[in-house]
Amino acid sequence: FDDLIEGLSIDLLNATDGSEVTITVAKDTEEAVEAVDNFVSSFNSVLTYISERSQFNAETEEAGILLGNRSAINIQQQLQSVVTSIVPGVNADLNRLSAIGITVTDTGTLQLNQSRLENVLKGNVDGVTSQDVKRLFALDAQSDSAGIRFVLGSSRTQPSGDTPYQVDITQAATRASLTGTSDLAASTIIDSSNRTLDLELDGATGTITLDEGTYTRQELADHIEALINSSTAFKGRTVNASLDGDALNLTSDTYGNSSSVLVSGGTALATLGYTAGAAEVGKDVAGTFIVDGEVETAVGSGQLLSGSPDNANTADLQLRITLQENQVTAGVEGQLTVTQGLGATLDGILDTILDPVDGRLQTVDDAFNKELESLEASIDRQQAVFDRQQEVLIREFTALESALSQLQST
């Protein structure tokens, strides 16, 4: 059942006549609470690790390995700054961690009030929703167009700030749709002479064999659709068979250049109104992003529009464009407000810290290695000086012994 309660689908697995079933609908908040709790624990583990190794033990007179290390202190301060900041562009009632019950202790670690978080997730706090909690942590985007939906982004996708990104669609994604060149008969007889149809659907080829019998136009379309969609040759691919006027139309359910319908032969070809070799291919969505008047390129694949990796603001931004061709105009189709939650911000910071090529830790490690190399070179130079001095002393001692021996002989 999909239409009993708006937004709710019910799968009926078993039923007994006359029995009454009670369904309780409630939000499952356990996983969300667990995820937030894990975030707090992980964050505290990092800060505790740095703090414990940045102390001096007066009793043992031992210093932690990170004592006085500016890089470690900067990382600690940077992480603390993020979790205490306000997330711009989201609900003002839920734009900081304290709004969901996460507070900062005197030691700089985080503390979670689980009851407060559960109340927010269950919708018991006025003015906020569970979706606001998502935006507090994750990268998210909201569109003013129902045909433009945010899918995902990465740490390279930048928040839009006060000015939304503009989405300019130049080509809506289409499906391959092939219509017969002649109409179906009002009543079609299928027998052994006209039962087969050879076709290619989204790159897969196969043959369907129609059941013998007499069909109306709609019955024939329904029968062909059922045969194609149940065929193992087209596994994972589906088609919609319908009537375009009185002609048979086959439309792939896939969008973009990978969507294709081709009829190549079969004894039912003429009966169904097709000619051998007739084919249609879908089109990928095409468009660009406009940021503060500057155009940033995007690549389309089916209905998915992705910002190019080199874009300054919309790199890796992915949108699903469900606009139809008649909805594409000569201008901007939608405005997109991109927000970057605390988790996404931390993800970007961690990338700059942990990048194995040019991350901060790699830079620190390279600096230590260079310092070690310099010390080793200095040691080698000093050792060479010592070796030369030793050689000189040995020669002088040998000469002295030789002189003494001559004197003793004399």
Please give the angle made by the CA atoms of 249, 252 and 257, to the nearest 5 degrees. Answer: 125
Interior CA angle at 153 toward 147 and 159, to 5°?
Answer: 90
CA distance 121 to 32: 8
User: Per DSSP, which regions of 235-329 are E strands?
Assistant: 239-244, 247-255, 260-265, 278-281, 286-291, 294-301, 304-307, 318-321
pLDDT score, position 16: 79
The conformational region for residue 381 under phi > 0 = left, psi -120 to 50 = alpha, else beta, is alpha
Task: List Cβ neighbours of 304 (8 Å cut-off, separation of 6 or more).
Answer: 151, 285, 318, 319, 320, 321
Tell me the one-letter amino acid at 42. Answer: S
73: Cα within 13 Å, side-chain hemisphere: 9
Q: How far apart are CA 162 and CA 33, in angstroms?
A: 31
> Which residues, listed in sequence order, are joined to residue 300 by a DSSP beta bridge?
305
Residue recorded with tokens 């020669």:
395
Residue among 135, 204, 157, 136 nearest 348 (CA): 157
Q: For residue 385, how many other CB atoms are within 10 A of its CB?
A: 9
User: Side-chain half-sphere of 227: how many Cα atoms within 13 Å?
Assistant: 18
Spatial distance between the Cα atoms of 69 and 114, rounded to a whole number of angstroms: 35
Which candidate, 236, 252, 247, places its Cα nearest to that of 201?
252
- For the stretch 133-146, pLDDT in tens is 989 999 999 999 99
* pLDDT of 9: 83
Closest CA to 273 of 245, 254, 233, 231: 245
d(CA 64, CA 247): 82
Residue 107: the pLDDT is 86
Q: What CA–CA distance (Å, rounded) separates 267 from 180?
A: 15
How much is the pLDDT for 360? 87
Q: Give phi and psi for 178, each to the nearest 5.
A: -115, 120
Among candidate residues 151, 104, 126, the one with its CA nearest the CA of residue 302: 151
d(CA 179, CA 188): 17
Q: What pLDDT does residue 68 have?
A: 86
Series of mean pLDDT values for 10-residue runs along the chain (410 residues): 80 81 81 92 93 88 88 90 90 92 91 92 87 90 94 90 94 96 95 95 95 96 95 93 96 95 95 95 96 95 95 96 93 94 88 88 89 94 94 94 93
Q: Supply the pLDDT for residue 283.
A: 96
- Gyration radius of the chain over CA positions: 36
Give the end-to-end CA distance of the chain in Å, rounded to a whole number: 124
Helix or strand or coil: residue 54? coil
Q: How high is the pLDDT of residue 309? A: 94
**Tokens 């624990």, residue located:** 41
What confidence score (pLDDT) does residue 375 get? 94
Q: CA-CA distances (angstroms) from residue 231 to 199, 213, 234, 248?
A: 12, 20, 6, 19
pLDDT 10s digits, 8-61: 888 888 777 888 888 888 777 888 899 999 999 999 999 999 999 988 888 888
Q: What is the pLDDT of residue 282?
A: 96
In degrees and rounded to multiples of 5, residue 89 shows phi and psi of: 90, -10
